[in-house]
């Protein structure tokens, strides 16, 4: 079973603008990277052993750009940390859960990730995240 919440993805127009808000609460960005395959720039803000993941689209074709256009800024996805990700995906599919990714793919922070479709999770875009321990 998933072991903890890894991070909470938040769609924003600008990481720099959003960072000003988090700084007022005493929270700082730990790292920023571009995930080319998802056409996003991501910034991680640690809070306890969870992170806020700010997601800024790098292209109009990014799924995050579409989300911002339709819904505006806000919570985009929830990520559960898990091990044995490929097995978890197989198990989820066998249990009738709709997968967006049948095979794990590289995400930020050297993690392997896969998404479950919000239509089969009661409305949340759910990411399963196999965190890197290196």
Q: In this structure, are residues 57 and 15 in contact, taking their beta carbons and an 8 Å threshold?
A: no
In terms of Cα–Cα distance, which of 50, 42, 59 is closest to 78? 50
Q: Does 10 bind ligand CMX (CB under 6 A)?
A: no
Smallest separation (angstroms) from ligand CMX to the CB of 84: 20
Question: Taking CB under 6 A as the rule, does residue 6 contact ligand CMX?
Answer: no
Is 40 near ligand CMX (CB under 6 A)? yes
Closest C-alpha to 77, from 32, 42, 106, 27: 42
- Contacts with ligand CMX by CB under 6 A lie at 9, 35, 38, 40, 55, 63-64, 66-67, 70, 76-77, 100, 107-108, 115, 117-118, 123-125
């Amino acid at each position: 079973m998933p072991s903890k919440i890894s991070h909470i993805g938040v769609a924003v127009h600008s990481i720099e603008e959003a960072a000003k808000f988090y700084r007022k609460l005493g929270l700082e960005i730990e790292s920023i990277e571009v995930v080319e395959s998802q056409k996003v720039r991501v910034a991680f803000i640690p809070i306890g052993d969870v992170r806020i993941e700010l997601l800024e689209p790098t292209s109009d074709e990014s799924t995050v750009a579409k989300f911002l256009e339709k819904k505006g800024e806000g919570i985009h996805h929830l990520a559960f940390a898990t091990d044995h990700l490929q097995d978890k995906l197989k198990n989820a599919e066998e249990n009738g859960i709709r997968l967006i990714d049948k095979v794990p793919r590289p995400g930020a922070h050297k993690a392997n990730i896969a998404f479950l479709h919000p239509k089969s999770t009661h409305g949340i875009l759910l990411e399963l995240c196999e965190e890197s321990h290196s």
